[in-house]
Amino acid sequence: MKLLITGGAGFIGSNFIRYWLKNHTDDEIVNLDKLTYAGHISSTKDFENNPKYKFVKGDICDSNIVNNVVKGVDIIVSFAAETHVDRSIVGPQVFLQTNVIGTQVLLDAALKFKIKRFHQIGTDEVFGTLSLGSKEKFNEKTLYDPHSPYSASKAASDHLVRAYFHTYGLPITITNCSNNFGPYQDPEKFIPRAITNLIEGGQVTLYGDGKYVRDWLFVEDHVRAIETVLQKGKVGETYLVGGLTEDINHLEVTEKLLQIFGKDEGSIKFVTDRKGHDRRYAVDWTKINKELGWKPLYGFDEWLTKTVDWYKENSWWWKPLKEEAEKLYEKTGQK
């Protein structure tokens, strides 16, 4: 079997490729990535010479490149996207271009070359926000209510994928996942930014009161969920993927990190809140558990510690990215 992975030099995409090459040794993988701020060729260093792997630098909005790489492929797993909320606030246009137009180009190629499965990587942010302290969770029937240019563009791409299923019969599946964490995550994201700040003797920066709740999912659990959907999922269906059963807010995550590093609350810095900041995300992953047998294997505390260890041991990877990551927060005045 041959898979096309778009955005495979990104955080989740590179972890997916690494896992797939290890566990599906007969399969071939083509990685199409534009290598923007979110895609780093260094994230593919450990498997770049695998004979079953091929890298193609290119934009999913370029139909010529897309048609060339889709030819002969059995499955497309589409990770390629602009994904950072803060960046979407500073410059929303590129999010629409990549996440909507790029998805449409991929879908057209999938139809043209009769792909056996098009799998869309979605996000729980398309559902909007939940109230702090409530027991409510997002599920597959939750109405879309995106609050940022990023989540609006991802909502549009999800709708487009479903439209190609209903209109053209393209065999699709979608997973909407919660916030991932783990190795190879760009240091502009919350957890790796906090970890690398603390490694360098700096502070953890928190928006507002820091009590924003996210449903944290270890990246390998997410990769396993995608694998499960590709193998057992029903065509045309959406599955939500989450990692936690109890709420944990950013301040509590920070306190766990401070404990790991042996630091006190003097290492916390509160800054002006982000525009349109969603208060709480929580994911009900009952469907994928009951219908496909998937559940998260990795507990948050244990794998947060392992993630800290990875960043401590792999400064070669994140240090070249750190300066550029911090420039984003300087632009938004939230440094």
202-236 per-position pLDDT tens digit = 999 999 999 999 999 999 999 999 999 999 999 99
pLDDT of amino acid 93? 81
Domain spanning 2-180+215-241 has what CATH number? 3.40.50.720
Q: Does the pLDDT at position 333 exceed 70?
A: no
In this structure, whether the domain defined by 186-213+246-275+299-326 belongs to CATH 3.40.190.100 is answered with no
pLDDT of amino acid 84? 60
Is 37 marked active-site?
no
Q: Does the pLDDT at position 263 exceed 80?
A: yes
116-154 per-position pLDDT tens digit = 999 999 999 999 999 998 999 999 999 999 998 899 999
Of the chain, the end-to-end C-alpha distance in Å amounts to 46
Structure tokens at 207: 């928006």
Q: Which string of b and e fits 189-215 if b means at least 16 CB within 10 Å?
A: bbbbbbbbbbbeeeebbbbeebebbbb
Judge whether 239 and 175 are in contact, CB under 8 Å: yes
pLDDT of amino acid 83? 65
Is 207 marked active-site?
no
pLDDT of amino acid 181? 97
Give me the mean pLDDT over the 312-333 stretch. 82
Domain ranges for the chain, please list them. 2-180+215-241, 186-213+246-275+299-326
What's the CA gap between 67 and 90, in Å, rounded? 32
49-62 per-position pLDDT tens digit = 999 999 999 999 99
Judge whether 185 and 144 are in contact, CB under 8 Å: no
pLDDT of amino acid 334? 54
Q: Give the whole-number percent of the chain exceeding pLDDT 90.
A: 83
- pLDDT averaged over the chain? 93
What's the CA gap between 40 and 186, in Å, rounded? 9
Residue in 150, 164, 281, 311 annotated catalytic: 150
Collapsing DSSP states into helix, strand and coil, what is residue 10? coil
CB count in 10 Å sphere of residue 134:
11
275-320 per-position pLDDT tens digit = 778 889 999 999 999 999 999 998 899 999 999 999 999 999 999 9
Q: Does the pLDDT at position 332 exceed 60?
A: no
Q: Which string of b and e fits 244-253 if b means at least 16 CB within 10 Å?
A: beebebbbeb
78-123 per-position pLDDT tens digit = 999 876 666 767 677 878 888 999 999 999 999 999 999 999 999 9
DSSP character for 138? B
Judge whether 148 and 125 are in contact, CB under 8 Å: yes
What's the CA gap between 289 and 271, in Å, rounded? 38
Judge whether 285 and 242 are in contact, CB under 8 Å: yes
Q: Which residues pair with 207 in a beta bridge?
A: 271
Give me the mean pLDDT over the 54-80 stretch. 97
pLDDT of amino acid 316? 97
Judge whether 216 and 210 are in contact, CB under 8 Å: no
- Report the C-alpha dihedral over residues 258, 213, 96, 108, rounded to 10 degrees: 100
The torsion angles phi and psi of 173, rounded to 5 degrees, stand at -140, 155
13-32 per-position pLDDT tens digit = 999 999 999 999 999 999 99
pLDDT of amino acid 323? 83
Residue in 82, 124, 186, 215 annotated catalytic: 124
pLDDT of amino acid 331? 58
Is 124 marked active-site?
yes
Give the position of tokens 């098009």: 118
Residue in 125, 158, 220, 247 annotated catalytic: 125
